[in-house]
Amino acid sequence: MRKQSLFVKLYLSAMLVFFASIGANAQVTIGSDNPPSQWSLLDLNENADGTSSRALHLPRLDNDAREALTPNADAQGLMIFNTETRCLEFWNSTEWISLCDDVPHPVRCGTGGVATRMRIGENYYYTHEFMTDGVMRCWMVQNLNQGTIGGSSNGIWQHDIATNRNRGLYFGWSAAQTACPPGWSLPTASEMQDIQSVLTALPISDTSPRRFWHTAPYALAGVRDSNGWHSWGGLGAWWNSSILQVFVVNSNGTMDINSGTSSLSLSVRCIQDLE
């Protein structure tokens, strides 16, 4: 016990000397004996010429872990790597800001059939990339869940079994036209065809990534019309921006574009606008 106590005291003394030297010098190099640059408080390099073969690895947090931090205004400048959006983010004293937002047409959504959750407006949605007009963009593979439920009064419905909006809402044609968050919009028929090309490139099986196109938790199956709820099952259908056209996802993963009527209430899946 005496030896262990002596070791602890020596360790603490060494740490005190180390931190005291940091305080005295105000500038520190980690990785080599090189002096820190004149502009830095902390300089990371490992070679004599000041270069490095390795990089700084920031803390990796998913959205839930990031939200659990609950920083306040004093935490401004805090920085993390978000493992869900695959972007660097910093806390500006009131909210998390993604550095990807300054990149033209960033691709930070899912790829290869694996959906990635990202923040869109005030909510988080699972997304996937697709190529359209020569630009890689993101689209929601998860149904929109924002809007005030008002039924026939404003054309936004919630099915009884879709508790807590975990599968999104149904939108009438008029409500769907303004439902997407800023920076996102309903896809055109042409863009839907580009989305379909992504789908057909994925394998078909019960466990394949195609399931997020038409099954929970990503999709909201079925439709609602003036006679009530219909086709609650494996099918999913949502609006595009063309007049009364409906994008239908079949249970086998294939897609069709059909004619709709203004009496229908369907899912909405927005796509990222071109900048």
State the pLDDT at residue 105.
45
Residue 217 is predicted with a pLDDT of 54
Residue 191 has a pLDDT of 86
**HSE-up of residue 125 (Cα within 13 Å, Cβ side):** 28
Task: Specify the pLDDT at position 181.
Answer: 92
Q: What's the token pair of residue 140?
A: 């929601």
The per-residue pLDDT for 2 is 45
pLDDT value at residue 231: 65
Q: How many CB atoms lie within 10 A of CB 154?
A: 14
Distances (CA, A) of 118 to 80, 263, 266: 15, 32, 23
Amino acid 48: pLDDT: 80
Sign of the dihedral through C-alpha 247, 248, 254, 256: negative
Return the domain boundaries, the chain. 2-44, 60-102, 116-272
DSSP state of 204: P
CB 98 within 8 A of CB 89: yes
Provide the pLDDT for residue 4. Answer: 46
Reading the block at residue 167, the tokens are: 């599968």
pLDDT in tens, the chain (275 residues): 444 455 445 555 555 545 555 555 578 888 888 888 888 888 888 888 878 888 888 899 988 899 899 888 888 889 999 887 778 888 888 878 887 765 544 456 877 777 777 888 778 888 888 888 778 888 888 888 888 888 888 899 887 665 566 678 889 988 999 999 999 999 888 888 888 777 766 665 544 545 555 555 555 667 788 788 776 555 567 888 887 777 766 666 566 777 778 888 888 889 988 76
Residue with tokens 């998913």: 62
Q: SS3 of 19, please? A: helix
For 113-119, the CB contacts below 8 A with 24+ separation are 113/202, 113/208, 113/209, 113/210, 114/209, 115/141, 115/142, 115/209, 115/212, 115/218, 116/84, 116/85, 116/86, 117/63, 117/84, 117/85, 118/84, 118/85, 119/63, 119/85
Beta bridge partners of 87: 82
Contact 237, 249 (CB under 8 A): yes
Distance CA 218, CA 166 (A): 9
> In the Cβ-directed half-sphere of 91, how many Cα atoms lie within 13 Å?
16
pTM of the model: 0.60
How far apart (Å, rounded) are the C-alpha atoms in residues 171 and 180? 11
Number of CB atoms found within 10 A of residue 36's CB = 18
